[in-house]
Amino acid sequence: PALHRQRHQFVIDFVNLNKPKKVLDLGCSECRLLKTLKFHRDIELLAGLDINDSPCMFFRHKLAPVSTDYLQPSYDQLRIELYQGSVTQKDSRLRGFDLVTSIELIEHLSLADVELFSAVVFGYMTPVAVIVSTPNSEFNLLLPGVSGFRHIDHKFEWTRAEFRSWALKVCLDYGYEVEFTGVGQAPQEQQDSVGFCSQIGVFQRLGGRNGSNSPCEHLLPQWQQLYSVNYP
Ligand code: SAM
């Protein structure tokens, strides 16, 4: 399967195993991941945020209930919310999630904004789990035609060591533990030397579901709600 599908499948497998009730996708773009997650019966709140509102607005119809959704009574409650805003801004409506996903997003931020992202996501939203994926630059030598970065809008691409050092600092600063993995495998003999095509960190808040949410600062909402829908 295509790499973007493998990344989304990684999230879906995590959701199947951990059954989070509230899931937020950062940089949700065309809402593809949200659309797949809509079919998971354990999820009660599914939210998406992107700085760019046009793909969200164009594709939000994918999230609306279709007639067959009403025929399946197991949707006791599902709410979907889409926001326009930046992951560098705090918004108290986005606290209290069980899972926050950031799939191929951080490499679009300046390093200064990555610091803000860490503070907002791990320090302020304090979700139980966070999945972060980003390109692994060590894999680039296997990608035909890629000399600099994989995409013109990437501000950086990290080696495994660089990703690890950012992730471990986040854990120390904000009270998480992390496991490293990835999707997109190199041929067998190169797997150790280059790693995965997309590297993934799975962060869990220390103390898990019972770990404490830090007290909430009272802030004005920063993100603009674009859309919301309740399933029956
Ligand atoms: N997560 C999606 C996926 O898995 O296919 C799309 C990833 S796309 C490469 C990166 C997305 O991040 C874009 O939709 C972009 O608008 C969004 N983005 C970039 N900077 C952002 C920011 N500061 N806050 C929120 N979203 C941002």
Query: What confidence tens digit (pLDDT) does each residue in 5-33 have?
Result: 999 999 999 999 999 999 999 999 999 99
Is 71 a residue whose pLDDT tops 90?
no
Is the beta carbon of 184 within 6 A of some atom in ligand 1?
A: no
Atom 24 (ligand 1): residue with closest C-alpha? 86
Q: How far is the CA of 102 from the centre of ligand 1 (A)?
A: 8
Residue, of 71 and 93, whose pLDDT is higher: 93
CATH number of 3-226: 3.40.50.150
Give the pLDDT confidence score for residue 75 in this predicted structure.
55
pLDDT at 74: 55
As a whole number, the mean pLDDT across the chain is: 90
Per-residue pLDDT averaged across 118-145, rounded?
Answer: 95
Give mean pLDDT, residues 59-80: 71
CB atoms within 10 A of CB 227: 18
Confidence of residue 64 (pLDDT cuts 50, 70, 90): confident
Closest C-alpha residue for ligand 1 atom 22: 86
- Hey, whose CA ends up nearest to atom 23 of ligand 1? 86
Tell me the domain boundaries of the chain. Answer: 3-226
* Predicted local confidence at residue 145, as pLDDT: 84
CA 201 to ligand 1 center in whole angstroms: 17
Residue 47 clears pLDDT 90, i.e. is over it? yes
Residue 191 neighbours by CB distance under 10 Å: 11
For 150-169, write each residue's pLDDT tens digit: 999 999 999 999 999 999 99
Rounded to 5°, the CA angle 138-142-146 comes to 85
174-201 mean pLDDT:
96
| Alpha carbon of 112 to ligand 1 centroid (Å) | 17
